[in-house]
Amino acid sequence: MKFDTPATTNPIDQLKVIGRPHDRIDGPLKTSGRAPYAYERHDVIPNQAYGFIVGAAIATGRITRIDTAAALAAPGVLAVVTHENAGKLGKAEAITAHLLGGPLVEHYDQAIAVVVAESFEQARAAAKLVRVDYARGNGAYDLAEAKASAIKPKDGWGGPSDTAVGDFPGAFGKAAVKLDATYTTPDQCHSSMEPHASIAAWDGNKLTLWTSNQMIAWAVRDLSETLLIPKEDIHVMSPFIGGGFGSKLWIRSDAVLAALGARAAGRPVKLALARPQMFNNTTHRPATIQRIRIGATRKGKITAIGHESWSGDLPGGGPETAVNQTRLLYAGANRMTATRLAVLDLPEGNAMRAPGEAPGLMALEIAMDEMAEKLRLDPVEFRILNDTQVDPENPGTPFSHRDLIGCLRTGAERFGWDKRNPKPAQVSDGRWLVGMGMAAAFRGNLTTTSGARVGIDRKGVVTVATDMTDIGTGSYTIIAQTAAEMMGVPIDKVVVLLGDSSFPVSAGSGGQWGANSSTAGVYAACHALRTAIARKLGMDPDTAIFADGKIKSGKRSVSLAEAAGDAGLSAEDSIEFGDLAKTYAQATFGAHFAEVGVDRATGEIRIRRMSGAFAAGRILNPKSARSQVIGAMTMGAGAALMEEAVVDPRFGYFVNHDLAGYEVPVHADIPHQDVFFMDEVDDKSSPMKAKGVGELGICGVAAAIANATYNACGVRVRDYPVTLDKVIGKLPPYV
């Protein structure tokens, strides 16, 4: 099905199942411990051995000698694989560093060997017996030092690296009120509850992999390019994933090393990364340095806005696209953005929840707060004043639907923004200085081709099969809701099968495109099945009604079970998106509000409450959407106040590579969250008239908290995270 004209009235608009707050249909499996995660697939193949990865102890250089004799002689050891005996390997184009290093070492903790043994304990113990000698090279690990050597990267998914409209230098120079400030965000690391894990088994030349991966088709592609075997010889399954957040968009070393270990040992091998390996062995959000310049009239109209960002990655890697939202969020005739990329010998920098906009708004929305203060305008009203209904870089391109103003006003009213004292350090509650802050939220609306197969059996049960994944976001449920709505059956009459490369290729989970695109693919397949059923019965597919488990046309009514017959019926189709994304700017919007307390004596910062209003198209399941947003807001709180992967500048690795040193928010850090979804449909986005919401929820949170901290105590922090050491020496006197 081609989606190239705006959606008209369709069966989804009935809203009998879609748009209602359904419980997760996978909830009972998860709460009872019966959900099959990759490392726990004891049932799928017998005689599984265990793998443990040996990581490089240097960040750059070469392996001069690797001695595996002691490891091979250890109890229970079946095989040790290194670059010397792994055979010929390739490197997947989508992955920056080799997933098995050697003799060249590209980053600290890069996998350089895997030990396979009868038990996990034996594999881990033997891994410590692998002896490696290195010739260590000189690496670059500090973004500030490497900034001068940064270059303009190739244009990519985020659009062009540089943009310019009008005369930014001239307009900024002439502006009545202007801001020129630099902000920094640190390296941040993933640490989802389920680590990267895989079980690999060979049957001749055919590989089966049970793994934790967000994008099944990408996993097949990348395994094919790495192991140099045809894609048709690879079967990947990932029905349940315990979090990914971008770190599992591409295969990592667990998948490749499990496969190599299984081939060497002649047995299935299961392998999970230890928690510390997730920080340096996989990917992270790269640090940024961002310079923002804003010029405005004295009445607050932006006349010039410029955003430059620097980040680093391994050779061949890509930048953090932190300028993306600045290209679309606010009006202003004279504009510029620039992205620069430095080479750093740190682990691979790549996608982490809402790449681009999440760190970009951490800077932009503090800058907007500072500019509002200079103009003596309320921060909400300043943003409303500079709203735009067209792409400001391409004024002939309107937004498909944009309700940033509605989010700002609704969010402010629900939060009680009118009670905020605009003068910093004026409100106290005992020993706490109390402040309010806000920030706009923005995330582009991405869509991608997605397919599904839908069948109905002689009992009237609808089964959906697609390689879409559920990373804890509720894919099973919204896909079931879509099929139930389209086929006119209760949701408990729908079976959903996900995460298997033998199923039709879907959008996968990532980039906030998963829910909208995958359900649109299911819509397309259901539309094809409705047509097949109607034609089989001699009914007009365009006028036949599917409801109450039946298909009806005029006075004739046939149950779906009867229509399916003993053989059943099925149909397969994909949604293919046309040029509407080029004809219209498509994005999601929101407004975050936060209240914090700052301890007068210690500088400790505590969130007291958070609130947000969001416009993200039709909300398919308000219950799971809220869950996604409060989780994203929590991640944003971590980015604001605590998350920082500390780089050792001598040896090029993240020192705090576990949850003891890399701090993340816990329940006690997040006392109250309010989430409100605007009543919105976007007929230019998909036949579902939905958009994504999972990444929008993190965008702008950190800045709202940073701005609230400033309002509370009068200390402006431009370098994240906003920790007490950055405010304590500048607090007002405590009397």
pLDDT tens sequence across 676-722: 999 999 999 999 999 999 999 999 999 999 999 999 999 999 999 99
pLDDT at 410: 98
Q: Between the CA of residue 221 and those of 91, 273, 288, 688, what are the distances in Å?
A: 11, 22, 31, 29
Closest C-alpha among 26, 272, 286, 318 to residue 157:
318
The verdict on residue 127 lying in a domain is yes
Evaluate if residue 334 carries a pLDDT over 80.
yes
Q: Average pLDDT, stretch 285-309?
A: 98
Q: What tokens appear for 643 in the block?
A: 């998350």
Which of 348, 643, 680, 695 is catalytic? The answer is: 695
pLDDT at 443: 98
> What does DSSP assign to residue 249?
S
Q: Is 180 helix (H, G, I), strand (E, B) or coil?
A: strand
Question: What is the spatial distance between Cα 403 and Cα 389, in angstroms, rounded to a whole number?
Answer: 9
Q: Average pLDDT, stretch 541-552?
A: 97
> What does DSSP assign to residue 477?
H
Question: What is the spatial distance between Cα 691 and Cα 512, in angstroms, rounded to a whole number?
Answer: 8
Q: What is the DSSP string of 694-733?
A: TTGGGTTHHHHHHHHHHHHHS----BSS--GGGTGGGSPP
203: Cα within 13 Å, side-chain hemisphere: 6
The verdict on residue 227 lying in a domain is yes
Q: Average pLDDT, stretch 126-153?
A: 98
Q: What does DSSP say about strands 673-677 and 605-615: parallel, antiparallel, or unpaired? A: parallel
Range of the domain at 123: 39-138+193-281
> What does DSSP assign to residue 447?
-
Estimate the crossing angle of helix 701-713 against helix 357-375, to 10 degrees.
30
Question: What is the spatial distance between Cα 462 and Cα 571, in angstroms, rounded to a whole number?
Answer: 11
pLDDT at 156: 83
The verdict on residue 176 lying in a domain is no
Which residues in 176-192 are b (16+ Cβ under 10 Å) and which e? ebbbebebbbbbbbbbb
695 catalytic? Reply is yes
pLDDT at 158: 76
pLDDT at 51: 98
Question: What is the spatial distance between Cα 540 and Cα 533, in angstroms, rounded to a whole number?
Answer: 10
Query: Residue 588 — φ and ψ, nearest 5°?
Result: -115, 155
Q: What is the DSSP string of 530-546?
A: HHHHHHHTT--TTT-EE
Closest C-alpha among 507, 547, 548, 563 to residue 686:
507
Q: How many domains, in total, are found in the chain? A: 3
Question: What is the spatial distance between Cα 64 and Cα 68, in angstroms, rounded to a whole number?
Answer: 13
Cβ 656 vs Cβ 687: under 8 Å: no
Cβ 153 vs Cβ 81: under 8 Å: no
Q: Is the domain of 415 the same as that of 492?
A: no
Q: Is the domain of 474 the same as that of 521?
A: yes
Q: Is the domain of 469 the same as that of 406?
A: no
Q: Is the domain of 605 the same as that of 626?
A: yes
Query: Under the phi-then-psi rule, with left for phi > 0, alpha for psi from -120 to 50, and beta for the rest, what region is 369?
Result: alpha
Question: What is the spatial distance between Cα 567 and Cα 547, in angstroms, rounded to a whole number?
Answer: 22
The verdict on residue 157 lying in a domain is no
Closest C-alpha among 309, 400, 347, 278 to residue 664:
278
pLDDT above 70 covers a percentage of the chain that reads: 100
Radius of gyration of the chain (CA): 27
Question: What is the spatial distance between Cα 633 and Cα 699, in angstroms, rounded to a whole number?
Answer: 8
Element (DSSP H or E) covering residue 433? strand 432-444
Q: Is the domain of 515 the same as that of 578?
A: yes
Q: Is the domain of 397 the same as that of 530?
A: no
Cβ 350 vs Cβ 282: under 8 Å: no
Question: What is the spatial distance between Cα 46 and Cα 65, in angstroms, rounded to a whole number?
Answer: 36
Report the chain's mean pLDDT, rounded to a whole number: 97
Q: What tokens appear for 606 in the block?
A: 């505590």
In 181-252, alpha helices (H): 216-227
Q: Which residues contact 735 (CB under 8 A, 6 or more apart)?
A: none
pLDDT in tens, 388-436: 999 999 999 999 999 999 999 999 999 999 999 999 999 999 999 999 9
Cβ 434 vs Cβ 620: under 8 Å: no
Closest C-alpha among 158, 445, 182 to residue 306:
182
Closest C-alpha among 452, 448, 427 to residue 708:
427
The residue among 582, 614, 636 that closes a domain is: 582
Cβ 699 vs Cβ 361: under 8 Å: yes
Q: CATH number, domain at 198?
A: 3.30.365.10
Predicted TM-score of the model (pTM)? 0.98
Q: For the beta carbon of residue 723, count every other beta carbon within 10 angstroms.
A: 18
Q: Which residues contact 420 (CB under 8 A, 6 or more apart)?
A: 435, 436, 711
Q: Average pLDDT, stretch 468-495?
A: 98
Q: Between the CA of residue 73 and those of 67, 125, 215, 259, what are the distances in Å?
A: 12, 12, 38, 22
The residue among 281, 300, 324 that closes a domain is: 281
Query: Residue 209 — φ and ψ, nearest 5°?
Result: -130, 120
Q: What tokens appear for 16 in the block?
A: 């009998």
The residue among 535, 552, 582 that closes a domain is: 582
Q: What is the DSSP string of 121-138?
A: HHHHHHHTT-EEEEEEPP
Q: For the beta carbon of residue 204, count every other beta carbon within 10 angstroms.
A: 6
pLDDT in tens, 67-82: 999 999 999 999 999 9
Looking at residue 13, its amino acid is D
> What does DSSP assign to residue 418?
G
Q: Is the domain of 591 the same as that of 686?
A: yes
pLDDT in tens, 198-220: 999 999 999 999 999 999 999 99
The verdict on residue 338 lying in a domain is no
pLDDT at 734: 81
Question: What is the spatial distance between Cα 184 and Cα 706, in angstroms, rounded to a whole number?
Answer: 13
Angle at 647 between CA 290 and CA 134, to 5 degrees: 130
Evaluate if residue 728 carries a pLDDT over 80.
yes
| Beta strands across the sheet bearing 197-203 | 77-82, 111-117, 49-55, 269-272, 197-203, 206-211, 234-237
Element (DSSP H or E) covering residue 171? helix 168-174
Q: Is the domain of 429 the same as that of 511?
A: no
Cβ 697 vs Cβ 614: under 8 Å: yes
The verdict on residue 601 lying in a domain is yes
The verdict on residue 260 lying in a domain is yes
Q: Is the domain of 405 the same as that of 544?
A: no
Question: What is the spatial distance between Cα 190 and Cα 205, in angstroms, rounded to a whole number?
Answer: 34
Q: What does DSSP say about strands 450-456 and 462-465: parallel, antiparallel, or unpaired? A: antiparallel
Q: What is the DSSP string of 350-400?
A: ---SSTTHHHHHHHHHHHHHHHHHHHT--HHHHHHHT--SEETTEEEEEBS
Q: Is the domain of 523 the same as that of 566?
A: yes
Q: Is the domain of 74 the same as that of 202?
A: yes
The verdict on residue 351 lying in a domain is no
Angle at 519 between CA 550 and CA 244, to 5 degrees: 140
Q: Is the domain of 441 the same as that of 451?
A: no
